[in-house]
């Protein structure tokens, strides 16, 4: 769905760089309200074109006193007041409101980070609804600066245990502010507050449905792709590309031409398994292109993670270009578009860092279908899922009658096993070892009946040799790591708590079955601070 297609009940988040900004977007969507996140330094026209009902100013790592600190555009206050738009500032967003509307922000005497208790100090029926003076709740704080003097007309409605301002409001001007993060699970009553703010204070109605997304996206695709244009779609066998292909096929029919690229970085027997499923279940015409030699030769000796991603992205486009030339000969017309299953987290996490002039989110990674495309790419992109989170894509897939087996597959990264082998992916027989280990691990998870409880599970080949004893002999072999996480949308994740017997059995089976492995480790790091993938 294009943002411009949303004309009512849009909740717009202006992103000032908080690691939690994406969670605000996701939490609001869970209330069946469409929310969209754009850069906090977007132009006033970019904001007005979207016609939001409510604007939320996110938190961020900056101080409002810093040189070139990000802020909303000139004319913003006049625009929201003239159009009756509600504004909620969170953390840095609150401080922006205070500073820009005539108050004062200073360095807090006591910085507040982590779980804190706040207390309602004014019974006004505003942000905290029916709560009374003296009511307390636990929230998640993360700030050094604080509001020390409020603009005229604003009132403090909650304070922290340390006496700091935790919530302010000016109902007459429709400005509200929270010094804490209601969007995180560490603020147990945060969702209740967001629900109350949007429905009861702002008067927003819940009505955003995935059926509407499907219908709107089909209209967008039909308007974008001319009646004689042909489209290429790269299918990986994962949820994203499968749903994207099905959606585009529904919109333009046989003018969609699907290809499956074996880049030499796929999982165990992935090519034959995926191609069999495409033909049997999806009934889509798919051409398999084996480009493994091409990809691996370009990756030989490359160790930098970002360089690997860009090489893979470039080679993918090269394959697509070659495929389009073949189609041109066959059809008498060259395909114009390329479909990619880019998701909203890919877009958010691929934002450039502060100071780039484009956004104030910190770069987490570049994704091959966002950050690694060559500038001279000849095919135009169609990214029908770019505003959706993974669980929303699965919901859309159900509506499109995509087989359950596809929808339940764990995510698999575009760069494939390249991000699961730190360093040179062509070293020795690392790829073969990793495929075998990964197959044993995933099959054990399925056999244990816990596959659907896990968001993503996989093995990692560690570029080190360790000492072991196998068959009464000293060995100097490879170590591997196992990773399994739980998550709702991939933006945050926690490691999965396996039973000890399961881990014992898997470790033994790997070391006994995979030649060249004598040590198995378990990754027990959440996201943040780590990412889900290793590179």
User: Catalytic amino acids?
Assistant: 91, 181, 183
Q: What are phi and psi of 514, to 5 degrees?
A: -105, 110
Number of helices (H) and strands (E) in the chain: give both, helices first.
15, 18
Q: Which of 412, 365, 359 is nearest to 527 (CA)?
A: 365
Structure-token pair, residue 196: 């109350």
Q: Is 332 annotated as a binding residue?
A: no
Q: Is 475 annotated as a binding residue?
A: no
For the residues of 80-105, what is the DSSP string, one character each?
Answer: HHHTT-EEEEETHHHHHHHHHTT-EE
Q: Is 424 annotated as a binding residue?
A: no
Is the Cβ–Cβ distance between 89 and 169 less than 8 Å? no
The runs of H, that is alpha helices, within 285-380 are 292-299, 305-331, 344-349
Q: Is 240 annotated as a binding residue?
A: yes
Q: Is 236 annotated as a binding residue?
A: yes
DSSP-derived letter for residue 17 is S
Q: Is 242 annotated as a binding residue?
A: yes
Structure-token pair, residue 351: 């934002």
Q: Which of 110, 205, 120 is nearest to 159 (CA)?
A: 120
Q: Is 238 annotated as a binding residue?
A: yes
How many C-beta neighbours within 10 Å does residue 117 have? 13
Q: Which residues contact 56 (CB under 8 A, 6 or more apart)?
A: 11, 12, 13, 14, 24, 87, 88, 89, 90, 93
Q: Which of 360, 367, 310 is nearest to 343 (CA)?
A: 367
Is the Cβ–Cβ distance between 449 and 442 less than 8 Å? no
Annotated binding site for ATP: 236-242
Annotated binding site: 236-242
């Amino acid at each position: 769905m294009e943002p411009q297609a949303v004309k009512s009940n849009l909740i717009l988040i202006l992103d000032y760089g908080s690691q939690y900004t994406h969670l605000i977007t996701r939490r609001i969507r869970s209330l069946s309200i469409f929310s969209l996140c754009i850069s906090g330094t977007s132009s006033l026209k970019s904001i007005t074109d979207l016609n939001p009902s409510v604007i939320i100013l996110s938190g961020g790592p900056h101080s409002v006193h810093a040189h070139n600190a990000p802020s909303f555009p000139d004319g913003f206050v006049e625009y929201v007041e003239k159009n009756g738009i509600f504004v909620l500032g969170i953390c840095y967003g609150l401080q922006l409101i205070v500073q820009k509307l005539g108050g004062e922000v200073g360095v807090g005497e006591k910085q507040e980070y982590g779980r804190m208790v706040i207390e309602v100090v004014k019974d006004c029926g505003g942000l905290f609804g029916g709560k009374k003076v003296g009511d307390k709740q636990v929230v998640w704080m993360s700030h050094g600066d604080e509001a020390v003097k409020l603009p005229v007309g604003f009132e403090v409605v909650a304070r922290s245990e340390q006496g700091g301002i935790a919530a302010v409001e000016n109902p007459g001007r429709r400005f509200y502010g929270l010094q804490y993060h209601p969007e995180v699970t560490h603020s147990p009553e945060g969702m209740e507050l967001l629900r109350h703010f949007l429905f009861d204070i702002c008067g927003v109605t819940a009505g955003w449905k995935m059926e509407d997304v499907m219908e709107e996206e089909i209209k967008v695709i039909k308007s974008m792709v001319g009646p004689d244009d042909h489209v290429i779609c790269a299918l990986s066998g994962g949820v994203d590309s499968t749903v994207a292909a099905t959606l585009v096929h529904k919109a333009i029919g046989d003018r969609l031409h699907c290809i499956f690229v074996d880049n030499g970085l796929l999982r165990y027997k992935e090519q034959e398994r995926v191609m069999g499923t495409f033909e049997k279940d999806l009934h889509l015409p798919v051409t398999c292109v084996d480009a493994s030699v091409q990809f691996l030769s370009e990756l030989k000796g490359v160790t930098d993670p970002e360089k690997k991603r860009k090489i893979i992205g470039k080679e993918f486009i090269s394959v697509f270009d070659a495929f389009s030339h073949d189609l041109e000969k066959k059809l008498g017309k060259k395909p114009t578009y390329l479909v990619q299953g880019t998701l909203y987290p890919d877009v958010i996490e691929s934002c450039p860092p502060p100071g780039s002039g484009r956004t104030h989110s910190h770069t987490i990674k570049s994704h091959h279908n966002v950050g690694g495309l060559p500038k001279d790419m000849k095919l135009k992109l169609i990214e029908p899922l770019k505003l959706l989170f993974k669980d929303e894509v699965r919901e859309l897939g159900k509506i499109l009658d995509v087989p359950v087996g596809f929808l339940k597959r764990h995510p698999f990264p575009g760069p494939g096993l390249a991000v699961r082998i730190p360093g040179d992916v062509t070293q020795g027989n690392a790829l073969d070892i990793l495929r075998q280990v990964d197959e044993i691990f995933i099959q054990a998870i399925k056999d244990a009946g816990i596959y659907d409880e896990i968001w993503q599970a996989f093995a990692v080949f560690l570029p080190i040799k360790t000492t072991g004893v196998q068959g009464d002999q000293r060995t100097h072999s490879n170590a591997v790591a196992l990773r399994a996480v739980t998550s709702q949308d991939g933006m945050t994740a926690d490691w999965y708590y396996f039973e000890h017997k399961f881990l014992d059995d898997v470790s033994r089976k790997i070391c006994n079955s995979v030649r060249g492995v004598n040590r198995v480790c378990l990754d027990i790091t959440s996201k943040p601070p780590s990412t889900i993938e290793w590179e």
